[in-house]
Amino acid sequence: MKFDPKNPIDLEKSKVRYDYLVKKGDPFELKGIRKKRTIKQNSYLHVVITLYAINFGSTLNEAKTDLKRECHFMMYQKDGKKYLRETKRMNTKELTEFIDWIRNYSSMNGCYIPTSEEYLQNICSIDNEIERLKEYL
């Protein structure tokens, strides 16, 4: 069950449920719910990766993989092996950090990627440019 602690009714229901589970004596799981990323943020991420790919002559998958490999917080180790984090498992804050990292990394390599505000102001021209060059991705 999901409860909103800001809602007094939900808060009371959660306490009743918790007391019931404790009294029952069986193991149970209690966990928080992370905020998921927004559709707008996800769309902007794909624009950012696409612009990077176009500028550096990569496919979308190549660009995404290369960017994750270069970004220190997008890699992790398990059993002595290196793995790349999946963006679909990132929350809003983590995805914002990754997008900002991509923009900074691109800029250091001579590729300016517009902010989300700049993208929204020029959405037609940027989307048209992406569409025009899509065959190379």
What is the pTM for the complete model shown?
A: 0.74
The tally of domains found in the chain comes to 2
Report the pLDDT value the prediction gives residue 136, as an integer from 0 to 100.
84
Banded pLDDT at 32 (limits 50, 70, 90): confident
Same domain, 128 and 73: yes
Note whether 59 and 137 are within 8 A (CB): yes
CA torsion through residues 112, 115, 119, 121, sign: negative
Domain ranges, residue 130: 39-136
Same domain, 54 and 116: yes
pLDDT, one tens digit per residue, over 39-77 is 899 999 999 999 999 999 999 999 999 999 999 999 999
Q: Tokens 């990627």 label which residue? A: 113
Q: Six-digit token pair at 32?
A: 């928080």
Same domain, 105 and 130: yes
